[in-house]
Each structure stands twice: as C-alpha cells, then as structure tokens.
Chain A
Amino acid sequence: MAGAKAFTKMGSVKTGDDGGMNYLNSLPRRLVTVYLPLAVFVFVLLFPFYWMAITAVKPNQELTDYKNFSPFWVVEPTLDHIKYLLFDTSYPGWLWNTVIISVVATVLSLAASVFAAYAIERLRFQGARQVGLGIFMAYLVPPSILFIPLAVMVFNLGLYDTKFALILTYPTFLIPFCTWLLMGYFRSIPYELEECALIDGATRWQILTRIVLPLAVPGLISAGIFAFTLSWNEFIYALTFIQSSENKTVPVGVLTELVRSDVYEWGSLMAGALIGSLPVVILYSFFVEHYVSSMTGAVKE
C-alpha cells in the first residue's frame, strides 16, 4: 500500500496537478457524482452514533415527547443516565471484566502467534506450508458452530462462569488471525539480516528477540489492536459461558441486565452502548493506519 501511495504521489508531481485526470470533471458534475453520494454515505453510517449520543443525554420527558421537543436535539442535557449506569448498576464491573479478559487474551494470543508465525515463515520446518494453510482454515471456523461443544467443554473443565472460560477460548479466533497477519510481516523482513546474525553466532532466540521482533513492531501493534477489538466485541461465547452478573462483559451485560421489563430505559441503554464503544473507538482513533493495514493485510495475503 505504501508503494501505491508513493506511486500516486510521483504521478501527481509528474503531471503537475493534484487531480490526475480530474481536470476532465467540472465542479458541478463532481458535486453530484462524488460529494453528494459521499455525504449520504457518511450521514447514514454515522447517524446511529449521533442518535446513541443524543439519547444518552436526553432527560426522560424529552425522550419520548416528539411533539414538544425536536427529537434531533436536546434542550436540557442531563447526565442522569450515565450517573445511573456508573453508580447504580454493575456497569463499571463489566467494563473492568472486559478490559481484563481482552488484554489477557490478546497478550496470550500475540505471544503464541509470534512464535508460530516465525516458525512457519522462517524456520520452514517440514510441513510448514501445510501448517500455514491449517492456520488460515482455522481463521475461517466461525464461533457460531463452536459455542455448543465449547460450552460442554467449559462446563466439564469447571471453567463455567469464570473469566478463564473466555480468556482460553478467545485465542481460537485471535491466534489464527494474528499468526496470519504476522506471517505477512515476517515475510517482508529480509533473509540477509538473519543470515548475518546466524554467521555472527546468534541463536534463533536472539534472532527473534533482537532482530525480527523490533522490525515487526508495526505488525505487532496492528495485530494487537485488532485482537483487542475483536475480544472487546465478542458476544456469543461471553453470552454462553458467563452466568453471574459480576462476571459479565460489557456487550452481554448491557443487553441482559439493562433490559429488564417491557419499559426500556433507552437513556441508560444508549449511555451503556456509548461508553462501551468508547474504549475501542479511542484506541482505533490513535492507530487508524495500523488498524486499516491489519484489516486489509489479512484479506490481501
């Protein structure tokens, strides 16, 4: 991708204008064919977030009274819903559980993936190709067909309703993804560096920790961010393996505990959804490039 960017940059320098062939398009034409559809896309894609945010700060009497208050705006913003969420429910506990589970599952998967990817890509042991293909296949096995047998296993292992149930099962979709991604990064590190190190008497372990890993830091960040987001968003395992309120993760907690009767408390539900989304959105905003490269990288290779 970097190569392509450099290419377009070079191209624009050569032709002497920024738009490439855009001089063929007049402004009104671009307005209708590009800016208008793009505006509609952006509006539709972002509206649910706006709706979430505005509902979270609306007082209850404004929430359902569309006659006297415009639904798109809030007259007297309130923090009541958020306060209720943070002090009168187990929400902070769910947040904490989600953080712990996501971090531990990510670190565990990343460590296992670094070794696996290095072995497959660089040690080239017998059968490495087949193992690489197997990893790719494992990536395609969806949680929806694993959760029932996993529930049986989790129960028999005595892990039911504990954080370990999730910490040990999340790597099933994290390791294939991280390994696949890191294999791509390791492939881009020149062999010559490793050969030099081998001649200088470095062991494989030293090569991995002193040469390969420092060069693969962007890949590690990409894989880590992505794995963290995946664990944060995971739902079906958390729903199946966790029973008690104090062990739930945010997505499960918000859905199963905040929805109690027929009277939905939309304000606190939306506040819960908003606050539960914030950590991943903040993380994402800091590492957009890494995130995009891991998403496209996993597909491209």
Chain B
Amino acid sequence: MASADTIPGTRHRSILARIGESRGALGFLFMLPAAILLLLFLTYPLGLGIWLGFTDERIGRAGIFIGLENYEYLLDDSVFWLSVYNTVLYTTVASVLKFALGLWLALLLNENLPFKAFFRAIVLLPWVVPTVLSAIAFWWIYDAQFSIVSWVLIDWGIIDQPINFLGDPNNARASVIAANVWRGIPFVAITLLAGLQTIPPSLYEAATLDGAGSWQRFRFVTFPLLTPIIAIVMTFSVLFTFTDFQLIYVLTRGGPVNATHLMATLSFQRGISGGNLGEGAAIAVAMIPFLLAAILFSFFGLQRRRWQQGGGE
C-alpha cells in the first residue's frame, strides 16, 4: 500500500485516518481484543501453571518456591504412575477403537443410502450432547444392580450375575473406554466422511477396471487419499482423549482404588479437592510433553497435506 504522505493535500489528515491506512497499526488494533483475552487467560495461566508446579501453594495460602520437590514426590508416588499408565492405556485403546469404528461408519455413510443426510445428522448426536449429561446416562446404564445391559445378557442366558461395571478395576476401565468411544466415534466418522466425499468416484471406476477388489480399492485408493485428514483427526482425537476429565469424573471419580484415575482427574483431586494447588499443577505440567508430541505429529500431518496438494496455497 502506498504511503499517504506522498500525495499532496493528505498531510494533515487525522491520526485516525493514518492508522486506518497502515497495515501494522490497523492489524495491531484488530488483533487487540483477541490478544488481550488470550494472553491474559491462556498464555499467562500456562506460565503460572508451570510456576505453580515449582511451589507448595495451597488453597488460601500463597506458596514459596520449592524447586523440583513436587516432581520428586510424584516420581515416588505409585498413584501418579498408575494414572500415567491409565491415561496412556485409555488414550491408546480408545483412539484405536474410535479410529477403526469411525472409519467403518464413515465408509458406511459414504455408500449410496436413502435418507443419507438424516443418518448423518442423528449419528452426530452423541457428540453434540453435553458429555457430562450423556455420561450420567452411561452411569445409569452401568448401574451395579439395575444395568440394562446386565438385564439383557441375563435374559438371553449369557451370564448369571449382573456385571459389576464400575466396581471392578478392569471392568471399570473397559466401561469408561466404551463410553468414551461411544462419544468419539461420531466426530471421527463425520470428519472422515467429509474427506471421503472429496475423493472422485472416477478413481474407483478406474481401479475397478484395473481389476481391483473392494479391499484393494480401499487399500490403494481410499486410504492413501485419506491419510492426511486421518492424521489430523486422530491428533485431535488423541488430544481430547488424553486430557479427558468429565467422563471419568462422572462415572468413577478415578475409582475403584484409582484404577481409572487419569492425569487430569488426579490433578483435579490433588489440586482442587485436596487443596494442594502446587502438586496438582505439577501433574498437569507432566501432561505437556505428551501433548507436545501430539501437536508435532499434527504439524507434520499438515505439512504432508500441503505437499500433497502441490505446494502451499
């Protein structure tokens, strides 16, 4: 943009008008509201959280710097390591299931179906409804005495006793993973469906003419073209699953005997319920390396996409 000063008669224009024509100043002004909110309530707390991890701050009492003591304590804390194990297990199993089932559902919805738009709309419902409220429904479904699942299985003669869904460590793990997968499938399926719809049908026709079977069409046409979007969707999915809090908090609160504690729920329990803000913050900070790994993965996913489109836009 040409400088306004070179044109005669515009010298004495007001400061406002000049700001209006300078990209830097105008850009700064436009960015201001978002920047203030994000710097104040996102960047600053991120730093504050890391700082709190090095202090012994408690609710109602300012902390002092204690170096790595919180982390040293956590290193010897078997509950913390159990929560790390649980988080990794929860994320891995749930993500793999979400991916497999989500991709399957996406492929089904991509078929030529009657009422396709309707199916797509209702399939997304689990993802739209507040997690806590659907988790409460799962709580009732997993009830120790009156579980509908147990009732049906007993009625069919498959089991004799009601299943103790949330009382037994391994059952509880499987149950919360199932609830998480239930909620996550629609997100994976609908985003992958959007990716599927951009694949031109002519490629499948060409592959069929070359004698490809349905598996080969999937393996050599669908999958490679879908890879970039899969990378991004799964990064998001992993990120959301890894930092999950609501589902566990509603269903088990980390029990039985910490078998379902995730790092986020442990951080809440120690930091807020227990009042030990410093230690809670340290647990939250311990999640960051994992998240960074996921973000780097996403970044390379994006890179690859740009490369496949033939250079940046």
Contact = CB atoms under 8 A, between A and B. Distances in A.
Tell me the interface secondary structure of chain B in the complex: helix
A34 B202 CA distance: 21
Interface stretch (B64-72, B90-98, B185-193): B185-193
A218 to B, nearest CB: 16
B239 interface: yes
Interface stretch (B3-11, B78-86, B130-138): B130-138
Interface stretch (A73-81, A85-93, A145-153): A145-153
A299 B24 contact: no
Contacts of B46: 141, 145-146, 149
A116 B33 contact: yes
A236 B268 contact: yes
A269 to B, nearest CB: 6
A141 B240 CA distance: 10
Query: Which residue, of A135, A142, A240, has the highest number of chain B Cβ atoms within 10 A?
Result: A142
Interface residues of B, number: 102
Contacts, number: 301
A240 B112 CA distance: 47
A300 interface: yes
A295 B197 CA distance: 15
Contact of A111 (B33, B122, B131, B236): B33
Interface in A222-276: 229, 232-233, 235-236, 239-240, 250-252, 254-255, 266, 269-270, 272-274, 276
Interface in A40-96: 41-42, 44-46, 48-49, 51-52, 55, 63-64, 66, 71
Of the four ranges (under 10, 10 to 19, 20 to 34, 35 or more), the interface on chain A belongs to: 35 or more
Nearest to B272: A240
A277 interface: yes
A123 interface: yes
Contact of B34 (A11, A44, A116): A116
B24 A232 contact: no
Given A146-B45, A148-B281, A292-B120, A51 B137 contact: yes
27 contacts: A21-B204, A34-B111, A41-B108, A46-B122, A48-B126, A48-B137, A48-B141, A51-B141, A55-B140, A112-B37, A115-B34, A116-B35, A125-B24, A138-B42, A142-B291, A145-B284, A148-B280, A149-B46, A153-B41, A203-B20, A233-B132, A235-B245, A254-B136, A255-B249, A269-B136, A273-B133, A288-B117
